[in-house]
Amino acid sequence: MVAPPWYDIPPKGYGGIESMTADLVRGLLARGHRVTVIGAGDGGDRRTYNEPPSARIGEAFPEVVHAARAEHFLCGLAPDVVHDHSLAGPLCAPARTAPTVVTCHGDVRGELGAYYRALGTAVNLVAISWSQRASAPDLTWVAQVHNSVDFATFPFRASKEEWVLWLGRLHPDKGAHLAIEAAWAAGRSIVLAGKQTERAEQAYFREYVMPLLGQAAQYIGEADAALKRDLLSRARCLVFPVQWEEPFGMVMIEAMACGTPVVGLSRGAVPEVVLDGVTGSVRHEVGQLPIAIEEAGRLEPAAVRAYALQRFDGPVMTERTRIPAGLRADT
């Protein structure tokens, strides 16, 4: 199992891919599989970096160094299957005797899709949503498996507070400023927690988010695992005004694991994840979000969690993450 190089496994704060990878590894081990985790920092059986180069996220060299060191480890392991979640790692797939399964965590409509096309049949791609798979149907897909979380680690709370929550990466694609405006229009205060370590994130925060902050809109910085769970369990709803074709969105299922409904825009995988009228509201326009925020208070938290538990709990993902016929190497 090759993780990205940016965060510990699981991460101490932000790091959706690393969190999902950790849950998947635990699930596979519980089913009797032998799994070797290659990653950076804590949680890896083989470390490409002693400390994850988190401050350099988005730079090319940490990815390349990570891929080179990961391949060195793999040459000494003789694995049956390599399951790669990194960006540069699949470049080594054509030289391997073991098949490489790649879970696609990004937008495959542009350069990422061109990259996977260039690798051809050297990689076997797993989509994290039907929306993602449909956006590039010609790629070498072998499966579609929704991400999951370990529901046992997310506290359920039946009684919610009156404020709403935005949680994620402070980037224009995530629409934090739209969440603030929607909360104001609904007459609700909003708490925002998110990462802003990359230059694009910092610029967006300064220009679009900071001018809107005040008594009714509070930014509390990046939330660690404990604070994230506390916020998600207490909020009236999670506002998810995504501005791109998000292939999944881990924070949505984290909210639902706490019994907290999701109010989102109908982009990417949102309609696959959120059941409108049961686990939240899916709307087509930003102007419809304030009413949806109010309606979220009438949804039943227990029903939110029950629906999500059947579809996005860790064992569901583990069960669906099977090696398709013909991919297992001779051992």
Q: Environment class of residue 280 by beta-carbon count within 10 Å: exposed (0-12), middle (13-18) or buried (19+)?
A: buried
Contact call for residues 133 and 144 (beta carbons, < 8 A): yes
pLDDT of residue 328: 43
pLDDT of residue 114: 97
pLDDT of residue 323: 53
Sign of CA dihedral 269, 82, 92, 125: negative
Distance in angstroms (rounded) separating the CA atoms of residues 175 and 179? 6
Q: Which residue has the tokens 């920092």?
A: 41
pTM exceeds 0.85 for this model: yes
Query: 157: which residues sit within 8 A by CB, 6+ positions away?
Result: 233, 234, 258, 259, 260, 301
Among the residues of the chain, which ranges form H helices?
16-30, 60-75, 111-119, 130-135, 176-185, 199-204, 225-234, 250-257, 270-273, 289-296, 301-312, 314-320
CA dihedral angle for residue 171, residue 104, residue 18, residue 225, rounded to 10 degrees: 50
pLDDT of residue 322: 59
pLDDT of residue 318: 84
CA-closest candidate to residue 11, choices 56, 68, 65, 52: 52
Domains of the chain listed by start with CATH number: 16-148+314-320 (3.40.50.2000), 151-312 (3.40.50.2000)
User: Two tokens at 109?
Assistant: 């409509």
Residue type, 225: A
User: Two tokens at 237?
Assistant: 């709803």
Residue type, 200: A
pLDDT by 10-residue block (mean), the chain, 331 residues: 95 85 91 95 95 92 97 94 96 94 95 96 96 96 93 96 97 97 97 93 97 96 94 98 95 97 98 97 98 97 97 87 49 28
pLDDT of residue 327: 53
pLDDT of residue 137: 97
